Structure 1
Amino acid sequence: MHNLYGIVAPHPPIIIPEIGRGEEKTCEKTISALKELSEKVKNINPETLIVISPHAPLFSDVVAVNINEKLNGNFGSFGAPHITFSYQNDLELVQALLTAAKQEGLAVAGIDESLARAVRVPASLDHGTMVPLYYLDPEQKYKLVVISQGLIPFSEIYRLGTIIREVAAELKRKIVIIASGDLSHRLTLDAPAGYDPSGRYFDRLMVDIFTRGDPWELLTIDKSFAEQAGECGLRSFIMLFGAFEGYQVRSRVLSYEGPFGVGYMVAEVEARGEDKERYFYPKLIAKKQEEIKKRREKESPYVRLAREALETYVRTGKTITPPDPLPEIFKRKAGVFVSIKKDGELRGCIGTIAPATENLAEEIIRNSLEAGLNDPRFEPVEEHELDELTYSVDILYPPEEVRDLSELDPKKYGVIVSKGFRRGLLLPNLEGVDTVEKQLAIAKRKAGIAPDEPVKIERFLVERYF
């Protein structure tokens, strides 16, 4: 499929004249670039547009694909209900995509109206999909597929992009992929997410990547840097580039501007023939495996026990027993949290505030299995994932009540907030949790406690092992 074509499109509703009411003129570069690409899409005349949207239903552990037969939406929530969209879903392509993703062990699932209602997310088209379509397909003449981002590892997001290309080729389907996404939301002091200097660095990096057509820096970007920059479309961009795996590309940035403190980039990517040097996925997997190998060579006895406990159970269904004789370091009693990550993203975290077993070894084994198999936020860990997982073990000191917020430090102390039977815990020194206010807010949210409810606050120290 040498004629594969992709577009990066921002999605601020304000660029729709009926919504912007004159303010859209602030984004003339963006609008002009989208109109130029609209003509290109028209000339390509694809059978199906595939939109990857950050504002489609987002889940922590799965990429969602809309499987409704009809895909409808309007700009009612932005004061323009008369601007409507109605598309036929390309269900043949969707089903082939879901089947291929499942065979690869990727976390991808279909979502229809009934499931959307059950999990309380909208089934209608989101503005991340509709804003680009307003310009790129004004006549609404093509079929549509809508894919959410999903907070799964970047490597899996990229692999899904390659599967999109493969499935479309098997079906002989002419497609255009639209990666919907703004850049940083933190460019100025009055930006929606507040100002952070990393925002401008992030935007410059994205423009450079799409000017050169080189996705490696996307795949290996520091996630804390991207989060600090307040990015929006990173996963959309990664999935888009995945569709061009193994191809030489012509990549061009048509426009960039940053009004309203938000970066808007319009770009295009076009396949220019196969290129054996541009298979990035195997390189990414090799890099991950080497990093995990080095980490495991240095892992602490506590972490090794947690890993071996989960690996043994997933592979054999058997629960290991503590070492015999029990080493001295495992003989004490303490609460323990076991955290599991995959590609830097949380894959499970369960623990005990106070000891629930006879010794530290039993506590670690028990909580490792709970974190890997019974964390309600995630599906149970499967065998094919085991070699990609990293672990940390937090051993908790007894909590002490806090009388004044000045006694808290999110880098040093974890917190426990409680109101009646509701209780929420947050470990210390977590990525992105850099203020006492944020730490308490997250702990309250975990407990189902309203932000303004008074709570009992306790702090605790931990020993963290990797």
Structure 2
Amino acid sequence: MKIQGFYLLPHPPIIIPEVGTGEERKIKNTGNAFREIAKEVQQKAPHTIILITPHGTMFNDAINLVYEDTLRGSLKQFGVPNVKMEVKINKSLTNKIFEIAREENIPAVMSTKEFLKDYNISLSLDHGAMVPLYFINQYYTDYTLVHITYSPLSVVELYQFGMEIKRAVEESNEKTIIIASGDLSHRLKDEGPYDYSPFGEKFDNEFLHHLQEGDVMNVFKMDKKTVQNAGECGRRSVLIMLGALDRSAFKGHLLSYEKTFGVGYGIMRFEITGDEDSRLETIKNLSYEKKQNQKDPYVKLARDSLTSYLETGKFLDKIPSYVTSEMRNTKRGVFVSLKKDGELRGCIGTIFPATSSIAHEIIRNAVEAGIHDPRFYPVEAHELLDIDFSVDVLTEPEKADKSTLDPKEYGVIVRSKGRTGLLLPDLEGIDTIEKQIDIALKKAGIQPSEQYDIERFRVIRHREE
């Protein structure tokens, strides 16, 4: 049996009257749309609701499916412990989705109370699930739940996981609906939960427009800077749901969108309008081409180095033909940084060259950043499509004092009794000399009261487009 309904629903606790205590009236369109969807769910009478949330127990390397008989939760953290619910888990369908995902090599895990004890985590129903279910429960309660918490896997894997949900439902003949739980940008107003960003409104407008048009490819083509600066939590839920809509043409019907509290709350139902070919290969090619067609040889070499190492377990033994003569013949210190969804995923570098050329320095440090940065677990091959590489080539350090520093233009090195701390220039949030020096001293384990030498350097920064 095919999935009977597809919905994007937000999860603002303030929409619950017991939490909002009147404030919920400021987003009454959202409340009305919730109730409209709840009535529709009542009419469809699904046996199972498949709900994808950002706020359950999240693993960095695997999608999490709850595998218990029941799941309980309350809104205690929002001051109303009396708002609580218990739902029955559809273990059969959960297991089928997990088994199919495993067949297709999509990282997934089934969580039980016993399993999560090893992580000192208790299993409970999160507000990303509770808020949508609160409204549904007012009209319909005769359902079981498949509870899924997404993971920051590649966009291709998330989409493919949605495809496997669809396959599991069709093979099990379950009458289901699927809910992508997620808020849009949290950066729409200065008084919102995050700092205001113009990218917030841009993200919400484009994302909702593409969904209304059923334009899956443009969802995947959205500008990375816009996505990274939106401060949203619903995109990955939707990417999984779009996978469950693979081979279907559809339109999105926006029932409401409000941003009263600085967060975008969008409610949308999706109507299948016809059949289409699978979009999976096109999405794979789009993601692959973006990363492989880099014109900058510095970041291209960094990516190729780590990719080759993850595939073969060995460093590149031959310098690729696209590497320039300067990279082959010049020695410099090099830092390679990896970012995933705008967050640091690894960074290793050398102040002074440790190899025979910039090219060899990049090859070495790309692998070090991906595999041996002690702050992070090693990068896995499936992450590469979602990782951005940057390469900083350092100029020769020169002696300096505080009066000649500029954290935007110069990086800084501090030294004392064999201890060395380095900080690259133009880092987000580091806009004063004092802050730059303080962080460098802490990295070196040098007390501010000690005597220390200062050097400065510039970097030539290469980023993936």
TM-score (norm 1): 0.80
Aligned to 2:289: 290
Aligned to 1:252: 253
Q: Supply the distance in 2 between the matched residues of 1:421 and 1:149 (Cα, whole angstroms).
A: 45
Deviations 1:258-305 (A, max 9, x none): 2112221111113344233xx33222222233334432xx342x5565
Aligned to 2:34: 34
Identity of aligned residues (%): 34
Q: Supply the distance in 2 between the matched residues of 1:68 and 1:92 (Cα, whole angstroms).
A: 11
Aligned to 2:407: 408
1:11-160 alignment, distance < 5 Å: 11-114=11-114, 116-119=116-119, 123-138=123-138, 140-160=141-161
Report the CA distance between 1:2 and its aligned residue. 4.4
Deviations 1:355-378 (A, max 9, x none): 473434554333233334345634
Report the CA distance between 1:425 and its aligned residue. 6.7
Aligned counterpart in structure 1 of residue 348 of structure 2, from 340, 346, 351: 351
Residue 50 of structure 1 contacts residue 177 of structure 1 at CA under 8 Å; is this kept in 2?
yes
Q: Runs of 5+ in structure 1 lacking a partner?
A: none
Amino acid in structure 2 at the alignment position of 1:229: A
Report the CA distance between 1:29 and its aligned residue. 1.1
Q: Supply the distance in 1 between the matched residues of 2:449 and 2:181 (Cα, whole angstroms).
A: 41
Question: Would the alpha carbon gap of residues 211 and 428 (structure 1) be closer, same or farther in structure 2, given more than 3 Å must change?
Answer: same
Q: Supply the distance in 2 between the matched residues of 1:388 and 1:254 (Cα, whole angstroms).
A: 32
Aligned to 1:462: 459
Question: Would the alpha carbon gap of residues 26 and 307 (structure 1) be closer, same or farther in structure 2, given more than 3 Å must change?
Answer: closer
Report the CA distance between 1:175 and its aligned residue. 1.6
Residue 85 of structure 1 contacts residue 140 of structure 1 at CA under 8 Å; is this kept in 2?
no
Q: Supply the distance in 2 between the matched residues of 1:112 and 1:103 (Cα, whole angstroms).
A: 21
Residue 55 of structure 2 contacts residue 128 of structure 2 at CA under 8 Å; is this kept in 1?
yes
Deviations 1:224-262 (A, max 9, x none): 213323323122222222211111224211112221122
Report the CA distance between 1:136 and its aligned residue. 1.8
Residue 337 of structure 1 contacts residue 349 of structure 1 at CA under 8 Å; is this kept in 2?
no
Q: Supply the distance in 1 between the matched residues of 2:61 and 2:286 (Cα, whole angstroms).
A: 23
Does residue 189 of structure 1 match 2:190?
Answer: yes
Amino acid in structure 1 at the alignment position of 2:178: I
Residue 251 of structure 2 contacts residue 271 of structure 2 at CA under 8 Å; is this kept in 1?
yes
SS at match of 1:436: coil
Amino acid in structure 2 at the alignment position of 1:164: I
Question: Would the alpha carbon gap of residues 444 and 172 (structure 1) be closer, same or farther in structure 2, given more than 3 Å must change?
Answer: farther
Question: Would the alpha carbon gap of residues 317 and 256 (structure 1) be closer, same or farther in structure 2, given more than 3 Å must change?
Answer: closer
Q: Supply the distance in 2 between the matched residues of 1:210 and 1:322 (Cα, whole angstroms).
A: 45
Deviations 1:136-157 (A, max 9, x none): 2345432212222322332322
Question: Would the alpha carbon gap of residues 110 and 189 (structure 1) be closer, same or farther in structure 2, given more than 3 Å must change?
Answer: same
Q: Supply the distance in 2 between the matched residues of 1:58 and 1:425 (Cα, whole angstroms).
A: 33
Does residue 232 of structure 1 match 2:233?
Answer: yes
Question: Would the alpha carbon gap of residues 110 and 375 (structure 1) be closer, same or farther in structure 2, given more than 3 Å must change?
Answer: farther
Aligned to 2:368: 370
Q: Runs of 5+ in structure 2 lacking a partner?
A: none
Q: Supply the distance in 2 between the matched residues of 1:454 and 1:240 (Cα, whole angstroms).
A: 56
Q: Supply the distance in 1 between the matched residues of 2:36 and 2:104 (Cα, whole angstroms).
A: 37
RMSD of the TM alignment (CA)? 4.1
Residue 155 of structure 2 contacts residue 386 of structure 2 at CA under 8 Å; is this kept in 1?
no
Does residue 436 of structure 1 match 2:431?
Answer: yes
Question: Would the alpha carbon gap of residues 321 and 3 (structure 1) be closer, same or farther in structure 2, given more than 3 Å must change?
Answer: closer
Question: Would the alpha carbon gap of residues 348 and 198 (structure 1) be closer, same or farther in structure 2, given more than 3 Å must change?
Answer: closer
Report the CA distance between 1:5 and its aligned residue. 1.0
SS at match of 1:38: helix
Report the CA distance between 1:181 and its aligned residue. 1.3
Q: Supply the distance in 2 between the matched residues of 1:258 and 1:416 (Cα, whole angstroms).
A: 45
Q: Supply the distance in 1 between the matched residues of 2:229 and 2:314 (Cα, whole angstroms).
A: 42
Q: Supply the distance in 2 between the matched residues of 1:192 and 1:387 (Cα, whole angstroms).
A: 30
Residue 72 of structure 1 contacts residue 87 of structure 1 at CA under 8 Å; is this kept in 2?
yes
Amino acid in structure 1 at the alignment position of 2:92: E
* Aligned length, in residue pairs: 448
Report the CA distance between 1:101 and its aligned residue. 2.4
1:268-417 alignment, distance < 5 Å: 268-276=269-277, 279-295=278-294, 298-300=295-297, 302-303=298-299, 306-307=302-303, 309-321=305-317, 329-330=327-328, 333-339=331-337, 349-355=346-352, 357-360=354-357, 361-375=359-373, 377-382=376-381, 391-397=389-395, 403=402, 407-409=406-408, 412-413=409-410
- Higher mean Cα deviation, 387-396 or 21-30? 387-396
Residue 86 of structure 1 contacts residue 140 of structure 1 at CA under 8 Å; is this kept in 2?
no
Question: Would the alpha carbon gap of residues 20 and 390 (structure 1) be closer, same or farther in structure 2, given more than 3 Å must change?
Answer: closer
Deviations 1:421-466 (A, max 9, x none): 9998765567xx36638x969x969x899xxx99999865323346
Report the CA distance between 1:72 and its aligned residue. 1.3
Q: Supply the distance in 2 between the matched residues of 1:250 and 1:309 (Cα, whole angstroms).
A: 42
Aligned to 2:212: 211
Does residue 243 of structure 1 match 2:241?
Answer: no
Residue 411 of structure 2 contacts residue 459 of structure 2 at CA under 8 Å; is this kept in 1?
yes
SS at match of 2:293: helix
Aligned to 2:7: 7
Residue 336 of structure 2 contacts residue 349 of structure 2 at CA under 8 Å; is this kept in 1?
no
Report the CA distance between 1:179 and its aligned residue. 1.0
